[in-house]
Structure 1
Amino acid sequence: MHRLISVLLVLIVTVNGQQPSSSNVTAVLGELAVLRCEVQNADESSIQWSNPARQTLFFDEKKALKDSRIELVNAGRNELTISISNVSLSDEGAYRCSVFAHVVNIVTAYLSVIATPSEPILSGYEGPLVEGSEMLLSCQSEGGRPLPRLLWNHNGHPVTGKERQEVLEGGTVMVISHLAKVVGREDDGTSLTCEVFHETLKTSLVASITLEVYYPPVLFIQRRGDETRLLEGRSLELDCIVEGKPRPESVKWQRLGEGLPEKADVVGGTLRISPLNRTDNGTYRCQSSNMAGTTYTDFNLIVHDPGMLESRLGTDTAVIGGVVAVVVFVTLCLLIVIGRYLARHKGTYLTHEAKGAEDAPDADTAIINAEGGPASAHEKKEYFI
């Protein structure tokens, strides 16, 4: 009987026991965390919140731990809700909500503390850079938790850096990403950005720079006029067109191996020689410099004598006429030879192979009687008429 009563009491206690419910909470470092515990069909019971160190924070509406950051939000028969302001990393852990009735029921809510990373800081760029030089950039963001992601982007295209992490005092993380790049003139004016992504951010944090690259002058020579050959007595005008960064110095003209002709006139990047003669022949060089380097390009001048040119044209015409005459003569000769050959071989062949076959009664007899048959094969002859 005593044992039966004990079993009944256990069943009554189990039925009357109140099961609390709660949920895990994620809070941003330095902000507010709210812990809520609810009890369905609450009877005469008490609710208690305790921290990861098992210290009681609130027992119903009564505050037990003297911590000004912890406040009561709501207390009742069915609920006990508290808040923790200015959350620190030390607040992270498992909090317990206990319901005291005929039995004690406990539910655990885990408080996770995350931290927003700082804006990225770009370093290592000391522009402008000279074409062909290498730059080593660093992008740094600290204070994040969990680990943030750092991504590089160059003019709209992702690029890969080399990353390392370091845990700071207090439990947050510092992330540093290094990017090495050799710059060219095509990089001048392009943007390079470092972005930080983290779950605490609605949009990424961005740091960017605009690259400035110096490169040596780019030169090309443009000749005015449409003459194919430069003749004595005519004029020559050459424009030396130059580009570069920074702006190149003034253009310099020279003739390799000797000075410019006395009649040569240089205005800006334009060289003019008039009138031309064959003593002006040579290699003319256009040269320009800036702080990134020196560049030059050459123009080979050949002045032609109009008389010699006409004589050469006449000689060329005569040679061409002679070649054509020879070709025509050879063609006619071939036609004559072919015609004579065809005329000599045109005719009809008449043989005596079938002679006597007209009177033969059958084919075998005709073959035997024919002069061209087996019996007289050695005497077979042909006649050309």
Structure 2
Amino acid sequence: MTVREGQTVTLRCAFIGLTSQSVVIWEGPPNFNVMSTDRRVDSLYKRHRITGNSGVGEYSMEIADVQVSDEGGYRCSTLGLQEKAEMMLNVIVPIKKPPKIAVRDSSIFAGQSLTLSCRTTEGSPLPTLTWFNGTAQVKQRNNKLAEGVAMASLDLVLSELTRWDHGRNFTCMADQGYPQLAAATASSTILNVKYSPVVRIRSQSIQASEGETLDLSCDVDSNPQAAVSWRKLGGDIPANAENREEETTSPRGVTNTLVISHVGRSDGGVYVCETTNTFGTFQREFHMDVKDTNTQSVVIASVTVIVLLILFATIFVCIAKRTGLSTGVNKSREKTTGSTLTASRALPPLPPYLDARSAPAMDPDCDMDGLELQDFNGTLKPRPPPRVDKQPYSIGLSYPSLMHPLPPYSTVERQRPDGEDNMLDSPYLEDPWETEEFMAPPSEGLTRKRIDNRALC
């Protein structure tokens, strides 16, 4: 049985078949000394007493405020019985203070070895010691227990330190192995490794143009912090240069920047970033090349671009105007012709009595330009203007001469494939122009009937 120091524990013991003459005896540490007889406890054990119902054979030992001296073997027996009840009591004394970490060398430098020692004299039993690098366990030797002294010790040996070991957190943990009774404790130490400066640069070769602002930056890593200086090989730092310094994410690192504004040809050359601390010196070189800015080339290029833009704009405007003029002409033609139909073949010659040379003069009030042409059996004829005061069928009656089509010449041509004149067999033997209003032309010597020009209008 395992208990924590200061707790109360009961060691149970019971027998079956005890008589009134039976005597129960408890023995305990050290060396199984007699502690009680029947229900009477020796006066040396003031924190002990017998509990339980003796009528049913119960004789339990209760120990209050358990101490380390109570740890050991216990035995419960009675005369006349060979069986004996034995048990072991373990007392855990928690660690009151965390283990101590000692560094054997007061100065820690890169390239050297380092030994970290972890010791503790607290707790019972003595704890097991373990080293951790951050959260990862470090392999190490077994615990050393000093002879004659209740102390646990464990060493961690680092064979060769580097600048990457600077800032590492090493932890020594002490665990007694009973987490429910005693919590583990730990101590930590952060290494402070000293080393010479290390400089990193973004680019060793830099090109710039006249008038630009140039930044030369070097990242410095050192412990302790190094002093940074700038110099130019074969010359002086330009007067328009400014030195800026800012800390980086690392506590020991800094970024030093040399800012040169409005660089000129004379500012080109080799610049050196030099760092120094107690343990050494380190430097980096920058090769800066400054190019001329050709103002004349820039002006020529600008003028060329402007001329090309003007030329393209002029071409675009001309094309736009030409396209708009063609569109306007087409629209004008559409308005003039309206829905004019195109004849599929040439119009037939006018009859002699409608010839312009023999026809009487047209009435100046009659406007023929406004008439539209319509197709009557393959022949284009003027369409009369709309009459809103009459029915559609009555309109055509006012222009009987327009309602009679010309002879279907296409039909006549198809009826005479061999070229002979078949007009005698044509269904149009009768002159289509001879109507009630129009008579056949008179023979020579007779006066032609005058056509009413107003009727055509």
TM-score (norm 1): 0.57
Correspondent of 1:113 among 90, 96, 99? 90
Greater shift, 71-80 or 160-169, is seen at 160-169
Correspondent of 2:39 among 57, 61, 73? 61
- Rounded Cα–Cα distance in structure 2 between residues aligned with 1:196 and 1:107: 38
Tell me the SS of whatever aligns to 2:60. strand
Cα distance change, pair 295–147 in 1 and its aligned pair in 2 (3 A): same
Shift of 1:245: 4.8
Aligned amino acid, residue 27 of structure 2:
S
Cα distance change, pair 36–120 in 1 and its aligned pair in 2 (3 A): same
Q: Corresponding residue for 1:97? A: 76
Aligned amino acid, residue 74 of structure 2:
Y
- Rounded Cα–Cα distance in structure 1 between residues aligned with 2:99 and 2:224: 34
Higher relative contact order (CA 8 A, sep 6+): 1
Shift of 1:28: 4.4
Q: Corresponding residue for 1:207? A: 187
- Rounded Cα–Cα distance in structure 2 between residues aligned with 1:30 and 1:294: 62
Q: Corresponding residue for 1:34? A: 10
Q: Corresponding residue for 1:359? A: none
Q: Corresponding residue for 1:251? A: 228
Q: Corresponding residue for 1:284? A: 271
Q: How does 1:185-204 map to 2 (within 5 A)?
A: 185-202=163-180, 203-204=183-184
Shift of 1:286: 0.7
Shift of 1:244: 2.9
Deviations 1:154-186 (A, max 9, x none): 1211112334433565xx842111112344444
Cα distance change, pair 142–31 in 1 and its aligned pair in 2 (3 A): farther
Aligned amino acid, residue 152 of structure 1:
W
Query: Is 1:299 the equivalent of 2:286?
Result: yes
Q: How does 1:364-379 map to 2 (within 5 A)?
A: none
Q: Corresponding residue for 1:161? A: 140
Q: Corresponding residue for 1:141? A: 120
Does the CA-based 8 Å contact 1:70-1:84 persist in structure 2? Answer: yes
Q: Corresponding residue for 1:373? A: none
Shift of 1:96: 2.6
Greater shift, 119-128 or 57-66, is seen at 119-128
- Rounded Cα–Cα distance in structure 2 between residues aligned with 1:54 and 1:281: 95
Query: Is 1:123 the equivalent of 2:112?
Result: no
Higher strand share: 1
Cα distance change, pair 123–239 in 1 and its aligned pair in 2 (3 A): same
Deviations 1:177-209 (A, max 9, x none): 111234444444443211122233333222223
Aligned amino acid, residue 297 of structure 1:
R
Aligned amino acid, residue 123 of structure 1:
A
Cα distance change, pair 33–195 in 1 and its aligned pair in 2 (3 A): same
Aligned amino acid, residue 300 of structure 1:
H
Shift of 1:39: 1.0
Q: Corresponding residue for 1:352? A: none
Tell me the SS of whatever aligns to 1:104. coil
Cα distance change, pair 154–262 in 1 and its aligned pair in 2 (3 A): closer
Does the CA-based 8 Å contact 2:2-2:92 persist in structure 1? Answer: no
Shift of 1:36: 2.0
Does the CA-based 8 Å contact 1:120-1:194 persist in structure 2? Answer: yes
Deviations 1:212-246 (A, max 9, x none): 4455444344579xx98567x66673422333355
Does the CA-based 8 Å contact 2:206-2:286 persist in structure 1? Answer: no
Q: How many residues align?
A: 274
Q: CA RMSD, aligned part only?
A: 4.0
Shift of 1:296: 1.2
Q: Which consecutive unaligned segments of at least 5 residues does structure 2 have? A: 245-256, 295-457
Correspondent of 2:157 among 180, 184, 203? 180
Aligned amino acid, residue 177 of structure 2:
E
Cα distance change, pair 260–238 in 1 and its aligned pair in 2 (3 A): farther
- Rounded Cα–Cα distance in structure 2 between residues aligned with 1:222 and 1:93: 71
Shift of 1:117: 5.5
Q: How does 1:217-236 map to 2 (within 5 A)?
A: 217-221=197-201
Shift of 1:26: 3.5
- Rounded Cα–Cα distance in structure 2 between residues aligned with 1:125 and 1:157: 23
Q: How does 1:356-371 map to 2 (within 5 A)?
A: none
Cα distance change, pair 59–198 in 1 and its aligned pair in 2 (3 A): same
Aligned amino acid, residue 97 of structure 1:
C
Tell me the SS of whatever aligns to 2:265. coil
Does the CA-based 8 Å contact 2:100-2:187 persist in structure 1? Answer: yes
Shift of 1:62: 1.6
Correspondent of 1:270 among 236, 255, 258? 258
Aligned amino acid, residue 214 of structure 2:
E
Deviations 1:311-359 (A, max 9, x none): xxxxxxxxxxxxxxxxxxxxxxxxxxxxxxxxxxxxxxxxxxxxxxxxx
Q: Which consecutive unaligned segments of at least 5 residues does structure 1 have? A: 1-24, 308-385
Cα distance change, pair 75–140 in 1 and its aligned pair in 2 (3 A): farther
Cα distance change, pair 89–300 in 1 and its aligned pair in 2 (3 A): same
Does the CA-based 8 Å contact 1:250-1:288 persist in structure 2? Answer: yes
